[in-house]
Amino acid sequence: MGTLKPYLMSEDARAQAEFYTKALGGEIVSIITHEQAMGAQNDYKHKVMHLCLSVPGGSHIFMADAIEPLQHGTGVYLSLEFQSENEARTAFANLAEGGQVKYPFEFQPFGLFLGELRDKFGVLWMITSEQKPE
């Protein structure tokens, strides 16, 4: 069985990862630049070649600075499920700062809390919690 780990290309991986640690919790586990990994001594030497970010629930997001111009896609969401409505609601609000809410975080007829947004870096998120409303 495989383990899915999203890998995001970024215009500024360090800043994006720091935003996610504040928004979601977790921590930046490691950062490796092109200079550290390959001894690069060019314009890319300080760019992030690989960054590992832990997020709640034991998952990880990998990131790197893009070398080529980015085109943000609309076909992929990062879906993050929380054990409690409050945790999910807080993460949703934090990720929405500077971004755009597509669907507010609300209890849905199909039995869970769900909200969708595009964060300030262009990444699409689906935040959920299966906790029933009180």
One pLDDT digit (tens) per residue for the chain, 134 residues: 667 789 999 999 999 999 999 999 999 999 999 989 888 888 888 999 999 999 988 899 999 999 888 887 777 899 999 989 999 999 999 999 999 999 999 998 888 999 999 999 999 999 999 866 55
Domain 77-129 class, CATH top level: alpha beta
48-55/27-33 β-pairing: antiparallel
Rounded CA separation 130/82 (Å): 8
Domain range list for the chain: 7-65, 77-129
48-55/59-65 β-pairing: antiparallel
Domain 7-65 class, CATH top level: alpha beta
